[in-house]
Amino acid sequence: MSFFFNSDIAIGTRVLEIIFIMIGLILIYVGYSNFKDKTNPQRVGTSIFWIILGVVIAFGRWIPEMFVGIMVIIMAIPAILKKVKPGKNDAPSKEYTVEMSEKIGFKIFIPALTIGVFAVGFALFVKQLGALVGVGVGVIVAAIMLRILNKDNTLPVFLKDNKRLLDLVGPLCMLPMFLASLGAVFTAAGVGDVVADIVGTIIPQGNVNIGIIVFAIGMALFTIIMGNAFAAITVMTVGIGAPFVLQYGANPALIGMVALTSGYCGTLLTPMAANFNIVPVAILEMKDRYGVIKNQIIPAFLLLTFQIVYMIIFK
Cα 186 to Cα 59, 225, 226, distances in angstroms: 27, 12, 10
**What was the pLDDT predicted at 97?**
87
Residue 53 pLDDT more than 90?
yes
Query: Rounded mean pLDDT of 14-30?
Result: 93
**What was the pLDDT predicted at 119?**
92
What proportion of the chain, given as a percentage, has pLDDT over 90?
A: 46
**What was the pLDDT predicted at 135?**
92
Residue 104: partners with Cβ closer than 8 Å, 6 or more residues away = 149, 150
Reported as a single tens digit per residue, the pLDDT across 180-208 is 677 777 777 777 777 777 777 777 777 88
**What was the pLDDT predicted at 125?**
87
Residue 11: partners with Cβ closer than 8 Å, 6 or more residues away = 128, 129
Confirm if 308 and 216 have CB atoms less than 8 A apart: yes
Residue 281 pLDDT more than 90?
no
* CB hemisphere CA count around 34 (13 angstroms): 30
Question: Structure pTM?
Answer: 0.76
Average confidence score pLDDT of the chain = 88
**What was the pLDDT predicted at 220?**
93
